């Protein structure tokens, strides 16, 4: 077993890092195509999805109580068993079930109570990725729940419609727990977005798509067998917990809410016929205006909502691709209804201030190769406060992905408790895929990205690389928001 790990480690070294020359080459390449080459000589290159199973969707979580604006839910992290492939049973984790978790659908303005129970044999936390809530309910590494314990948290939903997610965040142990199955979607709805006549029938024309690559060993899913400190990658695509899924949809307009819930792998999403789709939302919710595009880069932890008009497809199957690999065959049935035209303005653009002239008040360097995984030259320390910022005040942060003598690799940088906006990328204006509210942004090798950050609530929040192995290895810091 030891030997196996060492070999994998060496492979990922080749796969995960770029040389100086490659970095220069990739700088000139389009942003959307950046990362694929980092993984081209990867032993765990993704295999085409053969589409043997029907895609299913996580159930919607029913509240245990609902009175007016107050709503209560229960979530339990528990052990399970699944058969993913070859009829082999494998141990898993899940929320309220064997694998992954139900989708929580919250409404802006709701007062939410969630009863959290840990039925695992190890500590865990419940982190709400993208929610703008107080630090003490955010579920970072300080909020561990011990086996057998229950904790109740409360918060008010104070942000616009968005596709967020939840996952564990225990100290140094996030990657294995997510890999084993702990992750779920968290939707926020609001009146403004419901009035837009966007497709919003859950699993009818509005589909959750959780992308996770996994490596099976003899049909079993065991993190310890395939763990790689640089990036745990898998050759098998799993969508919503289904291996080799095929999606069947009615002709017309569909909305895909895509979460890159992978431990490390980024995706260059596009369709096999290279058709255009409309990006309507980024991590933190709707964009001011939809953006037409033909490909989209999603790093680990990032989300996107897209509208696809199937009436424009001649064939009866379409394929969602990652570079040259088939991620998801989409079977189209029935006659097309006339597509509703997308509203011109999705969001009443708030008086957007320009932060382009502001000098950054916080600077962060990311340095990550097999040699070192560091944030600002340091490893995370639970007892060290790295930054302070006043709540409600906007500051410009500059994040830079620096090279060491081994090169560099892309790092998806995430901040808890806030939705930020991208101010500039290497001094230039961000492209459409980065415009809008974000909580995770991929910083490519040698890139410098400035973001405008404001925390509406107070408390202690994490910021880190969302490659979960990098987070666990200490590529993380914490900020005290007062």
Q: Is 301 in the site for ligand C2O (CB under 6 A)?
A: yes
Asked if residue 198 lies in contact with residue 295, where contact means CB atoms within 8 angstroms, the answer is no
DSSP 8-state assignment for residue 147: T
Binding mask 155-174 for ligand C2O (x = CB under 6 A): ------------x-x-----
Using CB under 6 A as the binding criterion, the count of chain residues that bind ligand C2O stands at 10
Q: Which does 169 bind (CB under 5 to 8 A by kind): Cu ion, ligand C2O, none?
A: ligand C2O
Q: Rounded to the nearest whole angstrom, what is the least distance from the CB of residue 431 to Cu ion in the complex?
A: 22
Among candidates 293, 345, 300, 57, which has minimal Cα distance to 187?
57
b/e per residue 273-308 (b: at least 16 CB within 10 A) = eeeebbbbbbbbbbbebbbebebbbbbbbbbbbbbb
How many CB atoms within 10 Å of residue 168? 28
Asked if residue 468 lies in contact with residue 223, where contact means CB atoms within 8 angstroms, the answer is no
Q: Which does 301 bind (CB under 5 to 8 A by kind): Cu ion, ligand C2O, none?
A: ligand C2O
Stretch that binds ligand C2O, among 89-97, 180-188, 251-259, 461-469 (CB under 6 A): 461-469
Q: Which two tokens stand for residue 345?
A: 């303005």
Q: Is 127 in the site for ligand C2O (CB under 6 A)?
A: yes
- Cα separation, 159 vs 141, whole angstroms: 24
Report the DSSP beta bridge partners of residue 92: 80
Give 185 or 321: the residue with its C-beta nearer to ligand C2O: 185
Give 234 or 261: the residue with its C-beta nearer to ligand C2O: 261
Give 134 or 221: the residue with its C-beta nearer to Cu ion: 134
Q: Is 303 in the site for ligand C2O (CB under 6 A)?
A: no
What Rg value do the Cα atoms of the chain yield, rounded? 21
Residue 38: C-alpha distances to residues 25, 251, 283, 384 (Å): 12, 36, 24, 33
Q: Rounded to the nearest whole angstrom, what is the least distance from the CB of residue 130 to ligand C2O in the complex?
A: 8
b/e per residue 423-450 (b: at least 16 CB within 10 A) = bbbeeeebeebbbbbbbbbbbbbbbbbb
Q: Which does 464 bind (CB under 5 to 8 A by kind): Cu ion, ligand C2O, none?
A: ligand C2O
Asked if residue 118 lies in contact with residue 96, where contact means CB atoms within 8 angstroms, the answer is no
Q: Which does 143 bind (CB under 5 to 8 A by kind): Cu ion, ligand C2O, none?
A: none
| β-bridge pairing 362-368 and 395-401 | parallel
How many CB atoms within 10 Å of residue 4? 11
Task: Rounding to the nearest 10 degrees, give the CA dihedral for residues 205, 208, 211, 217.
Answer: -100
Half-sphere exposure of 219 (CA within 13 A, CB side): 10
Q: Which does 303 bind (CB under 5 to 8 A by kind): ligand C2O, Cu ion, none?
A: none
Stretch that binds ligand C2O, among 21-29, 144-152, 397-405, 460-468 (CB under 6 A): 460-468
Stretch that binds ligand C2O, among 51-59, 327-335, 418-426, 462-470 (CB under 6 A): 462-470
Q: Rounded to the nearest whole angstrom, what is the least distance from the CB of residue 139 to ligand C2O in the complex?
A: 9
Asked if residue 160 lies in contact with residue 436, where contact means CB atoms within 8 angstroms, the answer is no
Q: Is 38 in the site for ligand C2O (CB under 6 A)?
A: no
Give 61 or 465: the residue with its C-beta nearer to Cu ion: 465
Q: Is 411 in the site for ligand C2O (CB under 6 A)?
A: no
Task: Match 């991590």 to its residue by tokens.
Answer: 283
Q: Which of 462, 467, 479, 481 binds ligand C2O (CB under 6 A)?
A: 462
Q: Which residue is nearest to Cu ion (CB)?
A: 465
Q: Which of 92, 464, 472, 478 binds ligand C2O (CB under 6 A)?
A: 464
Give 101 or 199: the residue with its C-beta nearer to ligand C2O: 101
Q: Which residue is nearest to ligand C2O (CB)?
A: 129
Q: Which helix (H) or strand (E) holds 21?
A: helix 20-28
Q: Rounded to the nearest whole angstrom, what is the least distance from the CB of residue 412 to ligand C2O in the complex?
A: 10
Stretch that binds ligand C2O, among 71-79, 106-114, 284-292, 459-467 (CB under 6 A): 459-467
Q: Which does 85 bind (CB under 5 to 8 A by kind): ligand C2O, Cu ion, none?
A: none
Q: Which does 467 bind (CB under 5 to 8 A by kind): ligand C2O, Cu ion, none?
A: Cu ion
Q: Is 284 in the site for ligand C2O (CB under 6 A)?
A: no
DSSP 8-state assignment for residue 84: -
Task: Rounding to the nearest 10 degrees, give the CA dihedral for residues 279, 280, 283, 286.
Answer: 160
Report the DSSP beta bridge partners of residue 106: 188
Q: Rounded to the nearest whole angstrom, what is the least distance from the CB of residue 476 to ligand C2O in the complex?
A: 8
> Binding residues for ligand C2O, per CB under 6 A?
127, 129, 167, 169, 301, 414, 416, 462, 464, 466
């Amino acid at each position: 077993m030891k030997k196996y790990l060492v070999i994998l480690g060496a492979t990922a070294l080749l796969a995960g890092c770029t040389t100086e020359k490659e970095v220069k080459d990739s700088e000139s390449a389009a942003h959307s195509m950046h990362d694929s080459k980092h993984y081209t000589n990867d032993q765990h290159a993704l295999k085409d999805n053969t589409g043997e199973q029907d895609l299913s969707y996580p159930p919607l979580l029913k509240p245990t109580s609902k009175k007016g604006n107050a709503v209560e839910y229960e979530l339990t992290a528990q052990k399970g068993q699944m058969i993913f492939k070859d009829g082999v049973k494998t141990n898993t984790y899940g929320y309220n079930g064997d694998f992954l978790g139900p989708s929580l659908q919250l409404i802006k303005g709701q007062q939410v109570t969630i009863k959290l129970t840990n039925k695992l044999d190890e500590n865990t936390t419940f982190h709400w990725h993208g929610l703008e809530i107080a630090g003490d309910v955010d579920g970072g590494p300080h909020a561990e729940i011990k086996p057998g314990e229950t904790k109740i948290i409360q918060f008010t939903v104070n942000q616009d419609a968005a596709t967020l997610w939840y996952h564990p965040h225990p100290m140094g142990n996030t990657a294995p727990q997510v890999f084993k199955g702990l992750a779920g979607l968290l939707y926020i709805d609001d009146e403004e977005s419901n009035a837009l006549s966007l497709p919003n029938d859950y699993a009818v024309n509005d589909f959750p798509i959780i992308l996770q690559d996994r490596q099976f060993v003899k049909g079993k899913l065991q993190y310890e067998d395939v763990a790689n400190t640089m990036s745990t990658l898998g050759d098998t695509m799993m969508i919503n917990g289904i291996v080799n899924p095929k999606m069947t949809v009615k002709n017309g307009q569909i909305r895909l809410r895509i979460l890159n819930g992978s431990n490390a792998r980024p995706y260059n999403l596009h369709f096999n016929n290279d058709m255009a789709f409309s990006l309507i939302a980024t991590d933190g919710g709707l964009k001011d205006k939809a953006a037409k595009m033909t490909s989209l880069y999603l790093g680990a932890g990032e989300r996107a909502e897209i509208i696809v008009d199937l009436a424009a497809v001649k064939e009866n199957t379409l394929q969602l691709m990652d570079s040259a690999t088939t991620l998801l065959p989409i079977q189209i049935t029935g006659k097309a209804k006339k597509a509703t035209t997308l509203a011109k303005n999705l969001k009443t653009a708030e008086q957007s201030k320009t932060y382009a002239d502001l000098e950054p008040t916080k600077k962060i360097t990311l340095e990550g190769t097999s040699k070192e995984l560091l944030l600002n030259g340091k490893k995370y320390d639970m007892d060290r406060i790295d930054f302070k910022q006043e709540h409600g005040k906007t500051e410009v942060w500059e994040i830079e992905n620096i090279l060491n003598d081994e090169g560099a690799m892309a790092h998806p940088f995430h901040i808890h408790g806030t939705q930020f906006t991208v101010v500039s990328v290497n001094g230039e204006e961000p492209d459409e895929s980065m415009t809008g509210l974000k909580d995770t942004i991929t910083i490519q090798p040698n890139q410098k990205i400035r973001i405008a950050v404001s925390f509406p609530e107070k408390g202690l929040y994490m910021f880190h690389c969302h490659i979960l192995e990098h987070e666990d290895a200490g590529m993380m810091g914490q900020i005290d928001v007062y």
